[in-house]
């Protein structure tokens, strides 16, 4: 399912003295099956963009098409359930949305709202739980007696059990330790591949964007300032740094290396392995060092 944003503008508290433009002229295309990362500082409007992806917010100007449903500015949009069923959002600190007595009930809450039968929902809950790396024993526990990391995983399972075509992640690893962070990010990446999902990751981690994304969108002060694949984006690191954004460690290392040794590699490498192979090749070929 493709999602296309066309010149979307959104204003918070429109028509009050507090009116504030959150995003403007944002055009992004998210083709089916793509892993897209949206990067920007706090307040750059990335979370606002995210909420347009399943019509939680409706544009003030412009339009958003989600599959064959088009959401335009200035019109009442009803029956958004269909859209929301197909686009699952994992919000920042998703553990805050837990409320049921047991983990199982919480996980099946989403699917059942979308009309899935209880048995089917329970079956999905077990699959989702395994996917997020939790044991089945946990199903009968109260979500509030779990550790923070477990709660996060349960909340994610609740979204996965909806079986969406598109999964939207808003800083899914905020506040986790480095190991948990990597586990969760790898899990989403595997899911993306296995289920052929479209994934939208909102983050300010350049490392994650470089490692997982096919496409990167950079936002600043409510505008899209750059779009492209990771190699394109990171091949102009000075531009990023000028915007106060980081570049991945590998890229920084490559730049330092080129500067110190005078070697010239023809492209930017985003993983340490690729970079080391390229450097080895370079040395062998030129035998210069």
* Interacting residues toward other proteins by CB under 8 A: 12-13, 15-18, 51, 54, 56, 81, 84-85, 87-89, 91, 94, 96-99, 109-110, 113-114, 144, 158-159, 162
In whole angstroms, the minimum distance from the beta carbon of 18 to other proteins comes to 8
Nearer to other proteins by Cβ, of 159 and 217: the residue is 159
Classify 28 as helix, strand or coil: strand
Nearer to other proteins by Cβ, of 54 and 131: the residue is 54
Look up tokens 């970079």; give the residue. 275
| Runs of H (alpha helix) within the chain | 46-52, 81-86, 103-113, 118-131, 148-160, 178-194, 206-212, 230-234, 237-242, 249-261, 272-286
- Which among 214, 119, 215, 202 is positioned nearest to 161, based on CA atoms? 119
Token pair of 205, please?
């981690």
In whole angstroms, the minimum distance from the beta carbon of 108 to other proteins comes to 11
Nearer to other proteins by Cβ, of 87 and 247: the residue is 87
In whole angstroms, the minimum distance from the beta carbon of 150 to other proteins comes to 16
In whole angstroms, the minimum distance from the beta carbon of 32 to other proteins comes to 20
Classify 145 as helix, strand or coil: helix
CA atoms within 13 A on the CB side of 60: 17
Nearer to other proteins by Cβ, of 105 and 211: the residue is 105
- DSSP-derived letter for residue 244 is T
Nearer to other proteins by Cβ, of 85 and 211: the residue is 85
In whole angstroms, the minimum distance from the beta carbon of 57 to other proteins comes to 9
Nearer to other proteins by Cβ, of 132 and 245: the residue is 132
In whole angstroms, the minimum distance from the beta carbon of 118 to other proteins comes to 15
Virtual torsion, Cα 126, 51, 166, 140, nearest 10 deg: 0
Q: Put the strands of the sheet holding 35-39 in their side by side order.
A: 87-90, 166-170, 198-203, 35-39, 215-220, 223-228
């Amino acid at each position: 399912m493709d999602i296309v944003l066309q010149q979307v503008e959104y204003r918070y508290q429109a028509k009050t003295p507090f009116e504030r433009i959150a995003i403007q002229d944002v055009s992004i295309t998210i083709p089916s099956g793509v892993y897209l990362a949206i990067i920007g500082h706090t307040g750059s409007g990335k979370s606002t963009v995210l909420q347009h992806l399943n019509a939680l917010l409706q544009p003030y100007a412009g339009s958003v098409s989600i599959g064959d449903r088009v959401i335009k500015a200035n019109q009442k949009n009803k029956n958004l359930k269909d859209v929301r069923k197909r686009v699952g959002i994992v919000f920042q600190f998703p553990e805050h949305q837990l409320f049921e007595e047991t983990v199982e009930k919480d996980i099946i809450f989403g699917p059942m709202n979308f009309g899935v039968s209880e048995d089917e929902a329970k079956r999905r809950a077990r699959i989702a739980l395994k996917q997020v790396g939790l044991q089945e024993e946990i199903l009968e526990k109260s979500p509030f007696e779990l550790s923070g990391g477990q709660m996060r995983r349960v909340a994610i399972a609740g979204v996965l059990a909806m079986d969406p075509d598109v999964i939207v992640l808003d800083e899914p690893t905020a506040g986790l330790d480095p190991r948990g962070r990597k586990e969760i990010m790898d899990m989403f990446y595997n899911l993306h591949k296995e289920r052929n999902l479209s994934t939208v990751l909102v983050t300010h981690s350049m490392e994650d964007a470089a490692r997982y994304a096919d496409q990167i969108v950079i936002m600043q002060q409510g505008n899209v300032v750059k779009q492209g694949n990771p190699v394109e984006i990171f091949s102009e690191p000075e531009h990023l740094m000028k915007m106060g954004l980081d570049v991945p460690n590998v890229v920084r290392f490559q730049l330092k290396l080129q500067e110190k040794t005078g070697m010239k590699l023809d492209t930017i490498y985003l993983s340490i392995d690729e970079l080391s192979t390229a450097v080895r090749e370079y040395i062998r070929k030129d035998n210069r060092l």
